[in-house]
Amino acid sequence: MKNLIAILFVGLISFASVAQEKMAKIEFKTDVIDYGTIEKGANGVRTFEFTNTGDAPLIISKVSSTCGCTVPKKPKDPILPGQTGEISVKYDTNRVMPIRKTITVLSNASTPTVALKIKGNVVDPNKKSVLEKKKNVLAEKSN
């Protein structure tokens, strides 16, 4: 009886170690997207591309942002080993301000949580900066 239990125990451990070897792995082309300087109301959609470099299907369970001005969209279907996928991010470019946001990706990958970042600056072309106004005032005074 002891031998049977020992054989079952060793078999169970062997099965568990083989089952754990197959795992999804997510690799992004880049984890930061720089919008640069864009105008108010411009297209705020950008895409993070990734590949499942593991040997099991990749399932992205949740994608969230640090604020409501950034809306990420995850793939609906699992990404098979070797396949690529996309996470699109839409930033509300009607907000004139610097962009510094983090998108958190949760999945079944070997690294289950990944932080992606977007950055940039949204400007209003109809509004002049304080420096531009100062230059204009100085130019008018010199004339």
Q: What is the pLDDT of residues 68-109, one digit of tens each?
A: 999 999 999 999 999 999 999 999 999 999 999 999 999 999
The answer to whether 36 and 43 are in contact (CB under 8 A) is no
Q: All domains of the chain, ordered by start, with CATH?
A: 23-126 (2.60.40.10)
3-state secondary structure of 73: strand
Angle CA 52–57–62, to nearest 5: 80
pLDDT at residue 53 tops 80: yes
Spatial strand order in the sheet of 113-123: 32-39, 113-123, 98-107, 60-65
Which residues are CB-neighbours of 42 under 8 A, at least 6 positions away?
93, 122
The residue type at 126? N
pLDDT at res. 132: 61
pLDDT in tens, 14-41: 555 555 579 999 999 999 999 999 999 9
User: 51 versus 16: which is more confidently predicted?
Assistant: 51
Which alpha helices (H) appear in the chain, and where do they start and end? 2-21, 130-142
**Confidence class of residue 134 from pLDDT cuts 50, 70 and 90?**
low
Question: Tell me, what amino acid is at 19?
Answer: A
